[in-house]
Structure 1
Amino acid sequence: MNEERASEIMNEGSWKVVALIVPLTLCFLLSLGLVELDYAVARMRNVTAIIAQVDSNNASMVRELANALGMSSLTELQAALIIGLMMLVMVAIVTTVVVILYRYLHCLWCLTGYAFCAITVLLGFLGTRNLAKICSLLKIYVDYVSFFFVVWNVTLTGSVVLFMDGPTLAHQGYCVFYASMFVNYLLGIMRPTLILWVAVVLLGFWDLFAVLCPCGPLRMLVNTAQTRGDMDSKFLRALVYSAAVLLATESGTMETEKEEEEEERGPKLGLGDFIFYSVVICLSRVDSGYYSVLLSYIVILFGLMCTLVILVLLAKPLPALPIPIFLSVTVFFIYRYMVAEFHDKVNAVQVFL
């Protein structure tokens, strides 16, 4: 590699990292803010005991599932692994069905309509849920008409911005907004949190297969879209965001049909990446504390930088999820089981003062 090419790679990689750090950080902060909102609402209602009971009930649900499968001797980790595998199978089935509908049946408009309706429903539901929490915490009294008018406008605007060509800043803002709300919802329904830890790791392996394997569904989807010139279609715009694929050309830059649009929009990162990076950050907060949050944040950014460097050097399709996820999960559990207790004892006696 000559000196000019090395300089080009450094310049190119640096602006990509900067362009991704800002929205990722905002997504992490908003996700953590929603976690703290849940804690604040719980403290206001004095429902700590109820939350503990819910966690206990969820743990017993895992046990009941194991009993239903005829595996009553399973540990919590083994039960969580089974549930995670079930989730992975569901993701694989849905992704395969989408590829079949798009590649072989040419049902692009049908998929676009379905995705638009699904995102609209999710935005409306999650927006209602979180706005109700904020009003409850701040004791803001709002009538139902005004409440749903605000939710409807925010939801419909978000759906249009995500699928239609609009202001880049608005599109990025709604991606962060939607991802953070969905992360908060996952944390609420997936208990105990060990299930989410297992699911995140399994999805990292799935991403490797789906993107790098020649018969991987995401690779087939992207190749078909490139062949047909559908990379800027409304459906694939949302789907590629959630597919966690970084596209590279032979020159090492991220591929779009128009170079000027690429320079205007900057590098693309999957919406699924935002969600699962934020899941790791929030799980670190729930299971350990803000020291582990800071550690996970640094490791995720380091893993993302490694991914971008490999992308530029190899100039091949590369999943953005596995390296940051594997590194952050590994470092978190090392911290929790090998460093956290020592850190707490040192902090208790104020050694660092």
Structure 2
Amino acid sequence: MSESGSDLDATEHTALMDGHIAEARPDRELAERIARKRKTKSDNQRSYGSVEQIEGGPSGASIAQQPRVPAAPVEPQIEELELKYGARHVIKLFVPVTLCMLVVVATISSINFYSVKDVYLAYTPFHEESPYASTKVWNALANSMILLCVIALMTVLLIVLYKKKCYKTIHGWLILSSLILLFLFSYLYIEEALIAYNIPMDYITLGFVLWNFGVMGMIVIHWKGPLRLQQAYLIFIAALMALVFIKYLPEWTTWAVLAVISIWDLVAVLTPKGPLRILVETAQERNEPIFPALIYSSTVMYCMAAASPAPGAAGERELRPLQPHGTVEGEGRDGTEAGGGEAGFDAAWRERRDEGAAPRRLRVDSAPPRYVTRLDPPHAPPHAPDLDEEKGVKLGLGDFIFYSVLVGKASSYGDWNTTLACFVAILIGLCLTLLLLAILKKALPALPISITFGLIFYFATRSVVKPFADALAAEQVFI
């Protein structure tokens, strides 16, 4: 390389460019000039790369170091990003949970069908018909324990099927449940809504609407569809299940079930042998998403069945080269493929080459190479997908159901103060759960804190606040 002044200036200029690193000169004068210019930069300016001389190496050898980011400015940025990401998590959970509870409260307030107790579930044989409170208490506890045993048995069965990789059985089970909800219970809901709002509709139109509604729901839940549409169907299914529990559970059994199911959720997620914890850990080990019919997700989450690889494939996919000129049928005598040519050159080119055409020469410039560096975020690897697309908020549909059962049951008594108190208590509990999730960084149950706060607010408001407000209203005292 020439030692002229123009070469020195050009080399120095390329070494100082943002995002570029060139070959460094060994001259001490050039190194000192570069060092002086770098010292004049402000301390808070980001350094995109540096060039260091190798000790003991040849005079022209150098190492292009990776970009270094000072630790002090990066940590506040990471904390700020985590806070913003956590705030988006809270908002993305508040909206669907609020919508689900609003659907249940609006239905309870406008349709009397779900407030009338005339039929009960088969899992609640004690109907609390005794006038004594003690009898109602043990009836409610017995019903809740029976229902809890059924839920625990179904959960354990699901875990066993998942551990044995019986995906088709699980899909069939979930598809059957979705069919019942989207067709049978949706038909009852639409029929009662039409009666409540006095809207005339013939059975042909009702069947046409119900068929399109159910088929579209099956497609977006169990296959593919727009994210917003999938989320809307999952919220509606959770609201339907909450209305079914409110309708077919006895009065005191509903509150006992909420308390018992919160304790079960705590045990099933946090204990080492808890079924829900086993389910989450197994899904993480297999790098598979949990079934979309059981989980509300803020990102697109399709559940694809795992296909077994061919024998001898060792679980890897085979990559085949593209053949733009046809399939390969054999190789020529010179080792080239008969259909694809020699590295993409066709037969006409080879004929011109064999006829003695003047060879073309390839000129290679000896200019020094220039290397471009890219500064990636310190918390994400190169080529990492978008965090919002990869991570996303996921909450079990069971949490939606029991949140809505609590608020819907409170609204069935016609006291809006109690309903609002339960609504606020559930959102506060959800915030605390997300806060603990950010601190502990492991799977946590979403029911215990919210349901506990909801039950406390419900009984405190109904026993203390409501009588106090009624007494003030009777005395015409307004606060």
The normalised TM-score by structure 1 is: 0.81
> In structure 1, how many angstroms separate the alpha carbons of the residues matched to 2:201 and 2:390?
40
CA deviation profile, 1:184-237 (whole Å, cap 9, x unmatched): 121111122x111110111111111111111011111111111122216xxx22
1:294 partner letter: L
> In structure 2, how many angstroms separate the alpha carbons of the residues matched to 1:175 and 1:90?
23
Once the two structures are TM-superposed, the CA of residue 141 in structure 1 deviates from its matched residue by: 2.7
Pick one of 265, 275, 278 that aligns with 1:207. 265
Equivalent pairs counted in the alignment come to 317
Residues 327 and 182 of structure 1: is their aligned pair in 2 closer, same or farther, counting only changes over 3 Å? same
> In structure 1, how many angstroms separate the alpha carbons of the residues matched to 2:434 and 2:158?
27
- In the alignment, is residue 38 of structure 1 matched against residue 131 of structure 2? no
- In the alignment, is residue 28 of structure 1 matched against residue 113 of structure 2? no
> In structure 2, how many angstroms separate the alpha carbons of the residues matched to 1:96 and 1:312?
28
Once the two structures are TM-superposed, the CA of residue 240 in structure 1 deviates from its matched residue by: 4.0
CA RMSD of aligned residues (A): 2.9
The match for 1:162 is 221
Question: Is the Cα contact below 8 Å between 2:234 and 2:296 reproduced in 1?
Answer: no
Q: Which has the higher contact order (CA 8 A, sep 6+)?
A: 1
The match for 1:223 is 281
> In structure 1, how many angstroms separate the alpha carbons of the residues matched to 2:394 and 2:414?
31
For structure 1, which segment, 279-288 or 109-118, has the greater mean C-alpha deviation from structure 2 after superposition?
279-288
Residues 121 and 15 of structure 1: is their aligned pair in 2 closer, same or farther, counting only changes over 3 Å? same
> In structure 2, how many angstroms separate the alpha carbons of the residues matched to 1:129 and 1:217?
33
Once the two structures are TM-superposed, the CA of residue 87 in structure 1 deviates from its matched residue by: 0.4
Q: Identity percentage over the alignment? A: 32
- In the alignment, is residue 91 of structure 1 matched against residue 144 of structure 2? no
Structure 1 unpaired stretches of 5+: 43-47, 67-71, 243-252
CA deviation profile, 1:155-198 (whole Å, cap 9, x unmatched): 12112211223211001111111111221121111122x11111
Residues 173 and 133 of structure 1: is their aligned pair in 2 closer, same or farther, counting only changes over 3 Å? same
1:111 partner letter: I
Greater helix percent: which structure?
A: 1
1:224 partner letter: T
> In structure 1, how many angstroms separate the alpha carbons of the residues matched to 2:388 and 2:149?
34
The match for 1:111 is 170
CA deviation profile, 1:18-40 (whole Å, cap 9, x unmatched): 1111112111111111112223x
The match for 1:290 is 416
The match for 2:389 is 263
Once the two structures are TM-superposed, the CA of residue 260 in structure 1 deviates from its matched residue by: 3.4
Question: Is the Cα contact below 8 Å between 1:241 and 1:272 reproduced in 2?
Answer: no
The match for 2:235 is 176
- In the alignment, is residue 347 of structure 1 matched against residue 347 of structure 2? no
The normalised TM-score by structure 2 is: 0.61
For structure 1, which segment, 4-13 or 122-131, has the greater mean C-alpha deviation from structure 2 after superposition?
4-13
> In structure 2, how many angstroms separate the alpha carbons of the residues matched to 1:125 and 1:239?
19
Question: Is the Cα contact below 8 Å between 2:194 and 2:200 reproduced in 1?
Answer: yes
> In structure 2, how many angstroms separate the alpha carbons of the residues matched to 1:14 and 1:118?
34
Question: Is the Cα contact below 8 Å between 1:179 and 1:274 reproduced in 2?
Answer: yes
Structure 2 unpaired stretches of 5+: 1-74, 298-378
SS of corresponding position for 1:351? coil
Residues 292 and 15 of structure 1: is their aligned pair in 2 closer, same or farther, counting only changes over 3 Å? same
2:432 partner letter: C
Question: Is the Cα contact below 8 Å between 2:266 and 2:445 reproduced in 1?
Answer: yes
The match for 2:294 is 239
Residues 262 and 210 of structure 1: is their aligned pair in 2 closer, same or farther, counting only changes over 3 Å? farther
2:166 partner letter: C
- In the alignment, is residue 16 of structure 1 matched against residue 96 of structure 2? no
